[in-house]
Amino acid sequence: MTITEGVTMLQSSAGSHVYLVDENVLIDTGNPGEFDAIWADLRLLGVHSIDHILLTHHDVDHIGNARRLQDQTGARVWASSEDIPYILGEKPRPGIKRIIQRIVRVEPPRITDSYGVNAQFGDIRVLPAPGHTPGHVIFLYRRVLFIGDLLAIKHGTLRLFPSYLTWNSQAVFRSLALLKTLQFDWLCPAHGQPLQRNDAVDRFLRPY
Task: Compute the distance between CA of residue 117 and CA of residue 30 in angstroms, rounded to an integer.
Answer: 26
Those residues whose C-beta lies under 8 Å from the C-beta of residue 147, and which sit 6 or more positions away, are: 129, 138, 179, 187, 188, 189, 190
pLDDT in the model for residue 14: 80
CB 91 within 8 A of CB 102: no
- For residue 189, give the 3-state DSSP assignment: strand
CB 151 within 8 A of CB 159: yes
pLDDT in the model for residue 124: 98
- Please give the average pLDDT of every successive group of 10 residues along the chain, which has 208 residues: 95 92 97 95 94 97 97 97 95 80 85 94 98 98 98 95 95 96 97 95 95
- For residue 128, give the 3-state DSSP assignment: strand
Q: How many domains does the structure of the chain reveal?
A: 1
pLDDT in the model for residue 114: 97
Those residues whose C-beta lies under 8 Å from the C-beta of residue 108, and which sit 6 or more positions away, are: 63, 66, 67, 87, 88, 89
Q: What's the CATH code of the domain at 12?
A: 3.60.15.10
* Residue 169: C-alpha distances to residues 95, 121, 133 (Å): 14, 29, 10
Q: Which domain holds residue 157?
A: 2-205
Closest by Cα among 35, 31, 97 to 64: 31
pTM of the model: 0.95
Residue type, 162: P
Longest dimension (CA), the chain: 44
Per-residue DSSP letter, 30: -
